[in-house]
């Protein structure tokens, strides 16, 4: 079975299989131990504790009971109903981690002859169904505002929440943000709900974390672990910046909170990496810093608006940096500015590298996308831009990101460097001479798969628009720019290539 990233939503009930538990013995390190106390164990052995171990034991909290007692009342179970006639329920089906496999419930039902109204086990599947889904959430205010995942409540006909004391309430969806997978819901009728707050500090790798949720519909469940990593990109969306934790997260934990030792929410559980559909100790949380910004907008406006620059960008690789004369492989290189966008109106061109926003360095293309998304539409920003060998500052007013658009941060198609020469291993023809290729650039009519360009993903039919930052119209132009790049001592040359789907930059090595 292939590894996959799964959302934590529980769509159907599960029967848990018993598992064997292995008890791990403790092996003392070799060295001199100082006797701190000498209780007699059941085996008649005297216990020794080294001073460093004793100090560490004294500093370690005895448990999480006090913390859990404070925060658990604010955590809720979220149950939704969705009409299957809605063609948008494909999202929900995608989130079913066991949709293509027999669950333990399926196997159990076949063995004992049970049948289900959803058409499993031989019964014809009904055309009209209501699907139920479960997730988790948590109150963030005494008047009933609660946070959960977008994929938990998306397209829900009705939403019910169950509090820690078992009380069931009806909730309404205030707003959702698919790009960050966050949603805000509201329970009316009370002003004294227990609630928790988002942390103002970024957790450190190695810090304790306690996750609370409702896995498998069992009710409130608590797991503990540490922060394993930060800034994770799992390909979930354009603004991925997940905290990775090893506290177990299972189906039904989606939307639940992860707490630090002060009882503040450091993240919202949203996904797991799993080869089996169950937790293997690799879970991903939306950071509190992101959740605070999104939730504030959902509460005020019911939707999220983001700044829009209007560029398609890709990371600056070492080869691209070398070909442009940049000292470091940092920033985001502009593939294409969109027509009429703020970037295009400000004079930003293809091949420019955006290195900083409002004085803060840009790490890569995703960093640029996240930074711009946190700024309000209409706000003025200063961009540091590396343009044709020179650095300059561009000031512009951001537009508003339309709902149907997403900031594109392509990962590029660079392969491993391959020894080559100014001969790229290509056969070229002027685009104007090839029907359907347009009037600009040269068309790739043949590719040597072992050549430098072929190794970098250039394919037959691609159109090379410029070489080394200069437009090319024929083979002679290409040769001239290759020779110029080599004579100037560059290790690679940057090509702007138009493919079937998009325009991108490719750095091809020169010997």
Whether 177 is a known active-site residue: answer no
User: Do strands 408-409 and 311-315 pair parallel, antiparallel, or not at all (unpaired)?
Assistant: parallel
Tokens at 485, concatenated: 């790049």
d(CA 416, CA 424): 15
d(CA 132, CA 130): 7
d(CA 404, CA 155): 18
Tokens at 120, concatenated: 């499993």
- What's the Cα-to-Cα distance from 484 to each of 148, 241, 323, 421, rounded to whole Å? 57, 41, 12, 13
Q: Of 7, 12, 136, 151, which one is the catalytic site residue? A: 151
Whether 387 is a known active-site residue: answer no
Q: Of 7, 10, 254, 274, which one is the catalytic site residue? A: 254
Long-range contact list for 199-203, CB < 8 A, 24+ apart? 199/260, 199/262, 199/264, 199/265, 199/266, 199/288, 200/264, 200/288, 201/260, 202/230, 202/287, 202/289, 203/227, 203/230, 203/243, 203/260, 203/266, 203/267
Give the number of other Cβ atoms within 10 Å of residue 302's Cβ. Answer: 12
d(CA 499, CA 459): 8
d(CA 74, CA 257): 10
Non-local (6+) Cβ contacts of 274 within 8 A are: 3, 4, 5, 6, 97, 280, 282
Count Cα neighbours of 253 within 13 Å in the Cβ-side half-sphere: 29
Contact between residue 270 and residue 242 where contact means Cβ atoms under 8 Å apart: yes
Q: Which of 377, 381, 374 is nearest to 354 (CA)?
A: 381
Q: Of 181, 260, 322, 364, which one is the catalytic site residue? A: 181
Give the number of other Cβ atoms within 10 Å of residue 423's Cβ. Answer: 14
User: Do strands 265-274 and 257-259 pair parallel, antiparallel, or not at all (unpaired)?
Assistant: antiparallel
Q: Which of 430, 362, 436, 347 is nearest to 395 (CA)?
A: 347
d(CA 11, CA 13): 7
Tokens at 28, concatenated: 């003392």
Catalytic sites, residue numbers? 151, 181, 254
């Amino acid at each position: 079975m292939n590894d996959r990233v799964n959302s934590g939503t529980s769509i159907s009930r599960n029967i848990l299989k018993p598992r064997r538990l292995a008890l791990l013995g403790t092996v003392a390190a070799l060295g001199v131990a100082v006797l701190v106390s000498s209780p007699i164990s059941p085996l008649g052995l005297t216990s020794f504790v080294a001073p460093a171990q004793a100090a560490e034991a004294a500093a370690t909290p005895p448990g999480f009971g006090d913390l859990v007692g404070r925060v658990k009342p604010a955590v809720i179970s979220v149950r939704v109903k969705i009409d299957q006639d809605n063609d948008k329920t494909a999202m929900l089906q995608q989130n079913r981690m066991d949709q293509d496999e027999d669950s333990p419930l399926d196997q159990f039902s076949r063995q004992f002859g049970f049948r289900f109204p959803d058409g499993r086990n031989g019964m014809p599947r009904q055309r009209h169904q209501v699907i139920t889904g479960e997730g988790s959430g948590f109150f963030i205010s005494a008047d009933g505002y609660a946070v959960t995942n977008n994929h938990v409540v998306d397209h829900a006909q009705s939403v019910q929440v169950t509090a820690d004391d078992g009380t069931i309430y009806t909730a309404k969806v205030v707003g959702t943000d698919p790009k960050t997978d966050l949603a805000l819901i509201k329970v009316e009728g009370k002003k004294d709900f227990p609630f928790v707050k988002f942390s103002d500090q970024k957790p450190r790798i190695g810090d304790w974390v306690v996750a609370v949720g409702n896995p498998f519909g069992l009710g409130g469940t608590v797991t503990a672990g540490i922060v394993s990593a930060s800034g994770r990109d799992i390909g979930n969306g354009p603004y991925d910046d997940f905290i990775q934790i090893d506290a177990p997260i299972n189906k039904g934990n989606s939307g639940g909170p992860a707490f630090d030792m002060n009882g503040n929410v450091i993240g919202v559980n949203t996904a797991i990496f799993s080869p089996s559909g169950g937790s293997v100790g690799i879970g991903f949380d939306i950071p509190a810093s992101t959740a605070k910004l999104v939730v504030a907008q959902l509460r005020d406006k019911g939707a999220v608006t983001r700044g829009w620059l209007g560029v398609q960008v890709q990371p600056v690789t070492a080869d691209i940096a070398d070909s442009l004369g940049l000292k470091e492989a940092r920033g985001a290189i502009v593939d294409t500015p969109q027509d009429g966008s703020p970037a295009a109106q400000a004079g930003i061109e293809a091949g420019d590298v955006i290195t900083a926003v409002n004085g803060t360095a840009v790490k890569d293309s995703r960093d640029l996308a996240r930074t711009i998304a946190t700024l309000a539409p209409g706000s003025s920003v200063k961009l540091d831009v590396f343009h044709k060998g020179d650095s300059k500052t561009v000031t512009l007013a951001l537009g508003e990101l339309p709902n149907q658009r997403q900031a594109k941060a392509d990962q590029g198609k660079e392969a491993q460097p391959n020894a080559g020469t100014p001969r790229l291993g290509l056969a070229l023809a002027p685009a104007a001479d090839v029907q359907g290729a347009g009037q600009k650039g040269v068309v790739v009519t043949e590719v040597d798969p072992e050549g430098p360009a072929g190794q970098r993903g250039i394919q037959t039919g691609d159109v090379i628009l410029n070489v080394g930052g200069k437009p090319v119209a024929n083979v002679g132009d290409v040769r001239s720019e290759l020779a110029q790049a080599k004579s100037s001592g560059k290790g690679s040359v940057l090509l702007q290539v138009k493919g079937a789907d998009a325009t991108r930059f490719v750095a091809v090595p020169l010997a």
